[in-house]
Amino acid sequence: MISLEKCELCPRRCGVNRHESAGFCGAGDKARVALVSLHPWEEPCLTGAKGAGTVFFSYCNLRCCYCQNHEISHEGKGQEVTDERLAEIFLEQQQRGAATLDLVTPTHYVPQIIHALDLARAKGFSLPVVYNSGAYDSVETIMSLRGYVDIFLPDLKYVDEVSAAEYSQAADYFEQAALAIRKMVEIAGPVQFAADGRMTRGVLIRHLVLPGHRHESMRALDWLWQEFGDTVQLSLMNQYTPMYRAAEHKGMNRRLTTFEYESVVDHAVELGITHCYVQEGQTASERFVPDFDGRGVRS
Ligand code: SF4
């Protein structure tokens, strides 16, 4: 059973009492939120006409050196909210016409989110719930989301231990992410779409191709294809931007070349993958980073 008293919500398994202190991620016993917005840049099947109803949570259990959201994920910018206020936020996203409730980096707040979803559903909340995580989740945490989450939206960042240790301080990333993603697929089932193209259930796995790592990306695709075939939706991203502390790591202080990205896309096609979003043109820009100004957090 998951709890805040002896926190093992993610594979760091810090074991801290979150009512008294914080573990690796920095999160306390109340959810902390940096921005509530309608977000147009998620994959089209998640955004609908008005956008995904994003709730950006503060803190993170990974330490990605290129994190575009580092001011909230590493530095904790945001405001604490009670579970009751979190439930109101979910209902307000529904009233704004959001296509989905998109919980961004939710891992370390799963108990608070489950309580808030119970409160919101008692008041008529009915949006599809998207769990948008880095996949560094414990299996127990994913199991607790059965009946609460409709769509899992994990990253698969690395398959190499060396990359995971150097860029995100999580050497066991792939081992843990593989377990978590398998459990997500078991819970959500094969991907399903409504007649208007909106995704209603299933797992959408994102992979960001990193500069100098196209062969690692191909191995990530090999694993995904071998494990899940076309029962999941994939999204291959080319938007790597050398932000934050990326320049401190050899080879990471540049954008992706067209050749690197296209060779990974070609590999997906060669494998026979058909459920896969690809990005066209230059999408790498700091302009796409949201302004974490606290909008929508207070009533
Ligand atoms: S959620 Fe935070 S405190 Fe809990 S195990 Fe993970 S890193 Fe540690």
Q: Is the pTM of this model over 0.75?
A: yes
Model confidence at 229: pLDDT above 60: yes
Q: Determine the pLDDT at residue 285.
A: 54
Helices (H), the chain: 44-47, 70-73, 83-95, 110-122, 139-143, 161-168, 173-188, 214-228, 258-271
Domains identified in the chain, total number: 1
The per-type count for the chain, helices as H runs and strands as E runs, is: 9, 10
Q: Are 231 and 191 in contact (CB under 8 A)?
A: yes
Let me know if residue 199 belongs to a domain: yes
10 lines ligand 1 (CB under 6 A): yes
77 lines ligand 1 (CB under 6 A): no
Mean pLDDT score of the chain? 95
Containing H/E element for 54? strand 52-57
35 lines ligand 1 (CB under 6 A): no
- Domain hosting 206: range is 31-288
Domain holding 39: CATH number?
3.20.20.70
How many A from CA of 236 to the centre of ligand 1?
Answer: 28
Let me know if residue 11 belongs to a domain: no
Q: Is 71 buried (19+), middle (13-18) or exposed (0-12) by CB count in 10 A?
A: middle
14 lines ligand 1 (CB under 6 A): yes
- Once rounded to an integer, what is the mean pLDDT over residues 212-233? 97
Q: And the tokens for 280?
A: 């066209």
How many A from CA of 35 to the centre of ligand 1?
Answer: 21
Instruction: Give the other-Cβ count within 10 Å of 67's Cβ.
Output: 20
Q: Determine the pLDDT at residue 284.
A: 52
List pLDDT tens digits, range 256-290: 999 999 999 999 999 999 999 999 866 555 555 67
Instruction: Give the other-Cβ count within 10 Å of 175's Cβ.
Output: 13
Strand-pair partners of 53: 38, 101
27 lines ligand 1 (CB under 6 A): yes
Strand-pair partners of 80: 32
User: In angstroms, rounded to a whole number, what is the distance separating the alpha carbons of residues 288 and 67?
Assistant: 13
User: In angstroms, rounded to a whole number, what is the distance separating the alpha carbons of residues 80 and 58?
Assistant: 9
Let me know if residue 177 belongs to a domain: yes
Let me know if residue 26 belongs to a domain: no
- Nearest CA to 56 out of 225, 265, 290 is that of 290
Q: Determine the pLDDT at residue 287.
A: 54
